[in-house]
Each structure stands twice: as C-alpha cells, then as structure tokens.
C-alpha cells in the first residue's frame, strides 16, 4: 500500500516560515527543517520528530522576537533627536530611560510584554474580523453607494429573498434617486457532460446586476438586456474559479455550450477572478420571467439592490422607494399584508444578520481580557513603584516636578506596549489562520470577506493606537500613586514602614477585586456558549445520527419532468443503495434534519374552519417507506409507511407528535384527514404519529411536521439516507457510484455522515464557543496570576508582622488562615460584583445565540466556585511561604 508522505506539523511549519529572517529564507528554512525532520523521524520515530519540529519552530520565533525587538529599539533610538527642540530632547531622554528600565527588569518586563501580547493580540484579531466581516465585507467600487430595499414581513427581519418576480419588475421602472435596481435569485444547478457531474452554485440575475456592481468581464462579455428575453435566456457567465477547476482555464470555453440541469447553455463570458458575489457564485444566468411568472407576487425568493445617483442621500432614495412601495401596497393589498419596506445599506443587508452581534460579543470579551491584563500590569507596576519609592522620592526632593515623574513612568509603559506590539500582531495573525482553517468551505461561501481577513497596514495602525491607549490605562493609576509627594516619610524610614502602605495595598486589593469581577462574566459567557454548542451537537435529536451516511442529489425539471420519472429514479436509487455491502437500510426524503431548507405547506384540517387571514403551515417531507426506521425515529401511534402506500391506494400521511398535540389536542389524529397545499390537493388520511425530531437547532425544534409517502408525491430533491453496519464513511464512494449507476448525469453532493452533518451545522456555534473558551481561559489564568502576585506581595510586605505574630505564639495554621482569608475575601467581593455583570451578559447572549439559556444556576455556581478555588489556590502558596518566616530573623531586620 502507498503510504502518504510524512509531513511536519502544518501549524509549526507555518510558524517556522513566518519566523525566517526574511522572505528569501522562508523556503530554504522550511526546506532545511523538512529534511532534518525526516531524518529525526527515521532515527527516533514520528512523535519525537514532531516534538523536535515544534521546538525548532518555536526557537525560530524566539529568535525573530529578539531581532524585532532589537530593530525596534534601534529605530526608536536613532529616530530620536539628541539635540534640538527641548521637548523632543526631553521625550528622547524619557524613552532612553524607559528602555534602560525595561532592560534592567527582564522578568517583570517579560511578564508585562507577554500579557500585553495576548490581550492586545485578541483585540487586534477581533477588531480585524469586525472590520473585514461587518464594516467592509465587500470590495466593489463605491460599495457605500449601493442600497438594498427589502419587503419584510412583520415577524421576519431577514433582509434577503423578500421580493417576488412582480415586485422586481415594479422596482425596475426608472427612478429619480437611483441609477437603477438589479435583482438576483438562487439557481443552483447540475453541471454535466465531460467529467463527473457537479452541483454548482448559481444565481439568476437581471441585466443591471453586473453594471451596478461595476464589474467588467475577464473574457467574453457579461449578461445584458438582450439575454433576458423569455425563451432565449440560455446564456451564462462562469466564475474564474469554475473556469480553472472545470475547464482548465481554456479561453476557448467562451462561446461553447455546456449542459446545466440537462439543458444546453452558452458560456458568453468569464467573471474577473475576485468576483464571486453573491455567496461564492460559480454561474450567473439571466433572470427571465414567463408571462405568468411575471405576475407572481407570492413567491418571495428574490433579492433587490440599487445604486444611488451621484449626490443623492440614502434618505432621499428611501423616500422615493417608500412612495413606490405604498403604491404597490394599495394596488395589491393581499400580497402586501403585514409587509413593510426596509431600506438598508448594501453591506448591512448582505451580511449574516447574527454576525455583527457575535462579533460585538467577541470584541467585548477581548476588551475584558485586555482589561484584566491591564489590572495585572497595573498591580505589577504598583509593586515596582513601591520598590522605587525611594528613587522617586529623591527625584522629587531635588526638584523634579510631579508631572516629570509621571511622564517618565508613562514613557516606560508606552515602551513596554510598543515592544509587545509585534508579538500582538503575530498573535492576531495566528488567530486569523486558525479561524480560517476551522471554517468548512460549505459555510465560508455565506460569509463575505472571510478570505480577506489578514493583518494589514490599517490593522497595524489601529493596533498601535490601541497599544498606546492601553499603556495609558494600565500605567496612569500606578504612576499617579507612585509620584504622590510624601517625601519626609519615605526618606526618613528608608521606604519601609506604614506610610502610604495602607492606601497602596487598598488600591492593589481593589484591582484584584475588579479583576475577578471582570473574569467571572467572561467565564460565564464562555460556559454558556460551550454548553449550548455541546447540547446542539450531542444532545437528543429525536433520531439516531450514529452509523448513518447521507448524500444529496437534485433532479432537474428538464431530465426528470414527470412525477413518474422522479419516482422511478428514487426507487432505482434505493435499490442500488441496498446492494452496497454494509448497508442495512436505505431510504430517501425530500428534506431531512440538518439540511438548511425546511419547506412548509399550508395545512387544512378536515372539519376545522379555515381563517383566510391566518393560514397554518406545517413542515413537509416526502419520504420512502423505510425513512423512519433508517433514522430510528419512533412510531408513537399507528403505523409507518409501507410499499403499498402508492399510486392509486388511499393517500396517507404521518404527523409528528408536536403536530398531533397542536392540531388535535386531547384526541387521536389517527384516521383524521388533512390537506397539504392548495385546495385542489387530495385529502390525506393520518395513519401514524412519529416522534419529534430536531430539524435544525437554530430555528426549528419540535416543529409540527407532516410526512407523506414519496410514492404518492415524488420529489425532485432527494436525500439518500443509509444506515450501515460498517463505519458509514467507508461506503461514501460506493454511494457516489450507486447514484451514477442510476443516472450518470446526476451529481451527488454533501456526502457525509450524519454526525459530520450535525457538526457542520453547528460550526458557527462551536466556533463562538471555542473563541469564548479561549478568552475565558485567558481571563482565568490572568486573574489567578493577579491574585497570586498580590498575595505574594502582601506576605512580603508583612514579613515583619508575621514574625511578630509567630513570636507571640501564632501557629502556622493561624498564619495560613490569615493569608488565605485575605485572598478569599477579595475573591468573594469580586464574585458578588461579577455575578451581577454575569447575569446581564448571559441575558445578552440569550438573545444573541439560539439555544443559550441565560440562567443556568449550576453553571453560575460552577464558575463562581472555580474562581473561588483559583483564588484560594493562588493565596495558598504565599501563605505557606509566610509560615516559613523565621520569627527571629524577621524581627531582627
């Protein structure tokens, strides 16, 4: 068998490349490491070789940090004038002193720099995401002049796909304030012919689509008005990606005919490489309406956007659109019942509606982490200020102004922050890399800007500003405190003694309390996100996802025009799938859990009055007889479908428990009749009640659902579901072949295990929870370090007192109790304050993330106890130290 070539750990390799002394050295350095890695692997085994590689990579990073720091120091030093303007000279001296101070205290400076690198890095990364994904997700020319009207229903704020074909035509009429409007709608298609068939992401677009986005073709032409004639609309533009992937970048593809959904289409042009709007589209086709479609006001599946004329404000355009919308409302009251017009900016309308909120949450978490880091640093500086009390007092005594001393301490902090900056940028770059790698391609297409996240000049500039601000925040308090003129006391007793001590230690204890109060809500938030994600992916689903493989294929109208043809395909596919070794049960469904779409049908119940204003809808699935058995969805009452439920036999349906309880409360639905869809559809007799399933954790749990036999309602959307006796992923290839054996032009897509599908569906939430967990962990570590350092300082300061206490008969237990009690009191106060913040933050998260329950008392308790335990643990070590004080030596000093 052919073993895949041994490769170094990718993340370490990436780090090593980045840390090479220059771009020229990246390949050589990585090549050296690769070569030596293979040698180490041969000699000592792969595990050791990986560890070896990581050590080498980290060594290179440490080297790089040294180089960067030296270069920065040199640059600052040479940039500072030694003579000339007095203020600059003063500043130069300040910074020179600051550099010297930093180098004289390598350990303290190192701690500060690492803390800052992590805290600042987290902030730079979240700000970068916010900037790319929310503020500037698109890069079209003058994107800020694009606007997006949507006809939202009162209960659905989602801005896309709200306009029906007739509406598109109404908006296409000329405007005073807009250059034009364009529309687009989903058109994913099967691309066949030549190689293996493929499901490609496509959109139908109107003639103004490309001009409004200011796009020019890379080859050929884009779509225009002449392509929009109904019946002659078989021209397509393909993306640069599809051109390269599928057609080997052959320029002659322009003018060639390709088969889409079984029908010939002419490729008229290729879009420029960066153009993939909307949603990573690979094909654009003309949007053309038949005479009857053009009057359709009910299928709201299209998205409209427009471009403002020069010098026209959004408000003016909104007013004109509002007027047109009112006219539509008056003319077609039924179609516009409960609808209102919302005009948004293009970027606001196009991005995922939850994205800004999530990013605000991350940014808030990152700021909290940075603040906790700042508290730690402030504490450290306070301690250092205490140690330097005498030096500063001497300076003040011989005539330095207080401002002069504060300025020097501020300069020291600024230097620390600036030195931490490159490391912070590296942390941000690492976060971007991890974040990009963790997102499945299936989802990346829905997040515009995702691929562009990077550390660039703009972000670096922002980081400098953030670093300076941070330096001021963490150093101002200690600087003011240390420069408080209290000369006589300090100079007289040599810096030791009670003067100013009470005040200083109150400040330090206050900082620790603040730190715990900040860390607690962060930990609660990360706990909530983690619990939510866990529940989604591993909680009860109403079916058994283990041991199941699923695959999708969609039958185009052109190749499978009749219900008979669709049913024949479906049944032959199930037969073919049953032949695969290891497959126990095979079934199909038009829609199944974890698939993003969730089609609804209007529900009419026999014998119940119909309110025309408020129709009831129910989720609809056409399934094969073994569907419930394959997914192990229990049949609660009645029976499942059988092969006899077909064609001329009595039309039947199965309803979910939630539907039974809601529509037939207190009675059995068995034998009752219902109708799905329009009034000309047949009455279906309910023969069974199935257990509830969770279709989608985000918006459809325990939804009323109706199942019908696919043999009585053949569907074009086919989800093949296989329960296997072998690991399900091992039959994936055979499944692909089974689909091809029934119809070689049918592409299979999204072939994956149910467990994997669930994982992908919850990626967003897991993502949020992973980042929040990282923030939470950082906060916990920083808070623990903070408590430890304050307690250690407290013990050191009170050595004398401890000695006296021990000399007077205090036992080691008493000393430990005294010290730990001090730590516990600070923790308790911080926890009480933090719980208040925590409840507030949990409420915010409840609104933000579906499935998060704000008040999970056990979680609050766990987090509070964890922090308390960390506080006690952090004060135990200094307490043990305190008991080791030798009374005699402590008293002698």
Query: What residue ranges bind another protein (CB under 8 A)?
Result: 5, 7-8, 19-22, 25, 27-32, 34-36, 38, 56, 59-60, 63-64, 67
Dihedral angle sign, alpha carbons of residues 217, 220, 226, 227: negative
Residues 6+ apart with CB under 8 A from 135: 347
In the complex, minimum distance from the CB of residue 45 to another protein, in angstroms, rounded to a whole number: 18
Q: Which residues contact 218 (CB under 8 A, 6 or more apart)?
A: 240, 269, 270, 271, 272, 273
d(CA 634, CA 690): 6
Work out how close the CB of 199 gets to another protein at its nearest, in angstroms, rounded to a whole number.
32
Q: How far apart are CA 733 and CA 752, in angstroms?
A: 11
Minimum distance, C-beta of residue 189 to another protein, in the bound complex (Å): 37
Nearest-CA neighbor of 101 among 485, 379, 392?
A: 392
Nearer to another protein, 61 or 872 (CB): 61
Nearest approach in angstroms of CB 148 to another protein is: 46
Rounded distance between C-alpha atoms, residue 491 and residue 482, angstroms: 14
State the nearest-atom distance from the C-beta of 385 to another protein, in Å: 37
Cβ closest to another protein, residue 67 vs residue 340: 67
- Which C-beta is closer to another protein: that of 34 or that of 646? 34
Separation of alpha carbons 420 and 317, rounded Å = 48
Alpha-carbon separation of residue 167 from 146, 296, 349 (angstroms) = 19, 8, 18
Min dist. Cβ of residue 5 to another protein (A): 8
Closest distance between another protein and the C-beta of residue 43, in Å?
A: 14
CB 491 to another protein: min, Å: 48
Please identify, using beta-carbon distances, which residue of 59 and 251 lies nearer to another protein.
59
Q: Pick the closer one to another protein by CB: 67 or 650.
A: 67
Both structure tokens of 326 = 């009112």
**How crowded is residue 733: how many other Cβ atoms within 10 Å of its Cβ?**
11
CA distance 15 to 27: 12
CB of 23 to another protein, least distance (A): 12
Cα–Cα distance measured from residue 120 to residue 116, given in angstroms and rounded to the nearest whole number: 6
Residue 423 CB, nearest approach to another protein (Å): 16
Q: Which residues are 238's β-sheet partners?
A: 270, 283
CB of 68 to another protein, least distance (A): 11
In terms of CB distance, is 51 or 221 closer to another protein?
A: 51
Burial, 888: exposed, middle or buried (Cβ in 10 Å; 0-12, 13-18, 19+)?
exposed
What is the nearest approach in angstroms of another protein to the Cβ of residue 53? 12
- The CB-of-114 to another protein minimum distance in angstroms stands at 20
In whole angstroms, the minimum distance from the beta carbon of 65 to another protein comes to 11
Helix (H, G, I), strand (E, B) or coil at 181: strand
Contacts of residue 547, defined as CB under 8 A and 6 or more positions apart, other chains included, come to 723, 724, 725, 728
DSSP states along 480-537: HHHT---HHHHHHTTT-SSTTHHHHHHHHHHHHHHHHHHHHHHHHHHHHHHHHHHHHH
- Closer to another protein by CB, 29 or 594: give it: 29
Nearer to another protein, 36 or 584 (CB): 36
Candidates 759, 751, 130; CA nearest to 439 is 759
Token pair for 631: 């997914």
Nearer to another protein, 27 or 250 (CB): 27
Residues near 253 by beta carbon (within 8 Å), at least 6 away in sequence: 238, 243, 247, 267, 270
Q: Give yes or no for a contact between 760 and 537, defined as CB atoms under 8 angstroms apart.
A: no
Nearer to another protein, 20 or 792 (CB): 20
Q: Is 34 or 433 the residue whose CB approaches another protein more closely?
A: 34
- Residues 6 or more apart whose CB falls under 8 angstroms from that of 301 comprise 161, 164, 185, 186
Instruction: For residue 361, give the nearest of 537, 516, 529 by alpha carbon.
Output: 529
Considering the complex, state which of residue 32 and residue 329 has its C-beta at the smaller distance from another protein: 32
| Residue closer to another protein, measured from CB, 36 or 814 | 36
Contact 635/620 with Cβ under 8 angstroms? no
Q: Are the C-beta atoms of 593 and 587 separated by less than 8 Å? A: no
Residue 56 or 288: which CB sits closer to another protein?
56
């Amino acid at each position: 068998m052919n073993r895949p070539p041994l490769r170094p750990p990718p993340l370490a390799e990436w780090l090593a490349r980045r840390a090479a002394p220059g771009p020229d050295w990246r390949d050589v350095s990585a090549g050296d490491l690769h070569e030596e890695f293979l040698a180490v692997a041969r000699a000592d085994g792969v595990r050791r070789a990986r560890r070896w590689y990581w050590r080498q990579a980290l060594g290179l990073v440490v080297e790089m940090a040294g180089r960067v720091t030296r270069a920065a120091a040199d640059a600052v030093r040479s940039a500072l004038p030694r003579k000339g303007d007095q203020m600059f000279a003063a500043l130069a001296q300040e910074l020179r002193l600051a550099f010297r101070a930093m180098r004289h205290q390598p350990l303290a400076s190192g701690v500060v720099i690492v803390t800052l690198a992590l805290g600042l890095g987290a902030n730079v990364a979240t700000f970068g995401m916010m900037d790319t994904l929310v503020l500037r997700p698109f890069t079209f020319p003058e994107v800020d002049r694009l606007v997006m009207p949507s006809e939202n229903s009162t209960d659905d704020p989602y801005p896309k796909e709200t306009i029906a074909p007739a509406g598109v035509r109404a908006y296409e009429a000329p405007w005073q304030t807009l250059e034009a409007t364009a529309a687009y709608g989903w058109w994913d298609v099967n691309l066949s012919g030549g190689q293996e068939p493929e499901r490609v992401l496509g959109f139908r677009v109107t003639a103004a689509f490309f001009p409004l986005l200011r796009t020019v073709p890379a080859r050929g032409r884009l779509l225009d008005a002449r392509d929009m004639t109904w019946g002659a609309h078989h021209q397509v533009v393909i993306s640069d990606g599809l051109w390269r992937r599928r057609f080997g970048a052959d320029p002659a593809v322009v003018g060639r005919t390709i088969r889409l959904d079984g029908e010939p289409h002419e490729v008229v042009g290729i879009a420029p490489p960066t153009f993939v709007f909307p949603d990573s589209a690979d094909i654009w086709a003309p949007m053309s309406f038949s005479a009857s479609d053009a009057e359709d006001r009910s299928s709201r599946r299209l998205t409209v956007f427009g471009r403002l004329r020069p010098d026209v404000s959004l408000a003016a355009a909104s007013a004109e659109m509002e007027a047109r919308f009112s006219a539509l409302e008056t003319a077609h009251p039924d179609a516009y019942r409960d609808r209102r017009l919302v005009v948004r900016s293009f970027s606001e309308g196009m991005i995922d509606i939850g994205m800004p909120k999530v990013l605000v949450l991350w940014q808030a978490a990152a700021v909290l982490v940075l603040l906790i880091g700042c508290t730690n640093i402030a504490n450290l500086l306070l301690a250092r200020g205490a140690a330097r009390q005498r030096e500063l007092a001497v300076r003040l005594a011989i005539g330095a102004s207080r401002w002069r001393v504060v300025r020097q301490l501020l300069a020291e902090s600024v230097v620390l922050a600036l030195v931490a900056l490159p490391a912070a940028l590296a942390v941000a770059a690492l976060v971007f890399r991890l974040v990009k790698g963790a997102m499945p391609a299936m989802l990346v297409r829905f997040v515009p800007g995702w691929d562009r996240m990077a550390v660039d000049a703009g972000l670096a500039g922002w980081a400098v500003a953030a670093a300076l601000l941070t330096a001021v925040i963490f150093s101002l308090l200690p600087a003011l405190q240390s420069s408080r003129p209290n000369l006589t006391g300090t100079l007289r007793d040599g810096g030791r003694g009670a003067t100013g001590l009470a005040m200083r230690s109150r400040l330090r204890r206050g900082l620790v309390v603040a730190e715990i109060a900040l860390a607690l809500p962060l930990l609660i938030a990360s706990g909530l996100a983690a619990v939510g994600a866990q529940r989604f992916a591993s909680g009860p689903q109403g079916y058994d996802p283990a041991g199941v493989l699923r695959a999708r294929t969609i039958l185009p109208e052109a190749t499978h025009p009749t219900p008979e043809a669709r049913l024949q395909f479906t049944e032959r596919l199930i037969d073919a799938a049953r032949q695969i070794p290891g497959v126990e049960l095979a079934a199909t469904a038009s829609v199944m859990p974890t698939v993003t779409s969730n089609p609804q049908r209007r529900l009419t119940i026999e014998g119940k009055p119909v309110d025309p204003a408020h129709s009831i809808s129910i989720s609809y699935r056409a399934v094969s007889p073994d569907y419930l058995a394959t997914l192990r969805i229990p049949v609660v009452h009645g029976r499942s479908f059988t092969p006899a439920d077909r064609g001329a036999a009595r039309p039947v349906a199965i309803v979910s428990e939630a539907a039974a309880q809601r529509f037939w409360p207190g009675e059995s639905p068995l034998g009752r009749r219902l109708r799905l869809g329009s009034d000309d559809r047949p009455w279906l007799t309910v023969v069974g009640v199935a257990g509830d399933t969770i279709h989608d954790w985000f918006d459809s749990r325990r939804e009323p659902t109706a199942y019908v036999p696919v043999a009585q309602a053949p569907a074009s959307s086919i989800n093949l579901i296989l329960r296997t006796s072998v690991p399900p992923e091992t039959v994936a290839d055979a499944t692909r072949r089974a689909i091809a054996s029934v119809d070689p032009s049918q592409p299979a897509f999204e072939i994956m295990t149910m467990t994997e599908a669930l994982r992908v569906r919850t990626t967003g939430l897991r993502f949020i929870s992973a980042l929040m967990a990282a923030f939470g962990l950082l906060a916990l570590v920083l808070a623990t370090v903070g408590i430890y350092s304050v307690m250690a300082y407290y013990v050191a300061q009170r050595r004398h007192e401890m000695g006296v206490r021990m000399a007077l008969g205090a036992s080691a237990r008493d000393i430990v109790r005294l010290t730990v009690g001090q730590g516990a009191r600070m923790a308790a106060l911080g926890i009480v304050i933090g719980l208040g913040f925590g409840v507030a933050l949990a409420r915010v998260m409840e609104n933000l993330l579906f499935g998060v329950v704000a008040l999970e008392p056990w979680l609050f308790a766990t987090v509070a106890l964890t922090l308390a335990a960390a506080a006690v643990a952090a004060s135990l070590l200094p307490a043990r130290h305190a008991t080791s004080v030798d009374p005699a030596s402590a008293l002698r000093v």
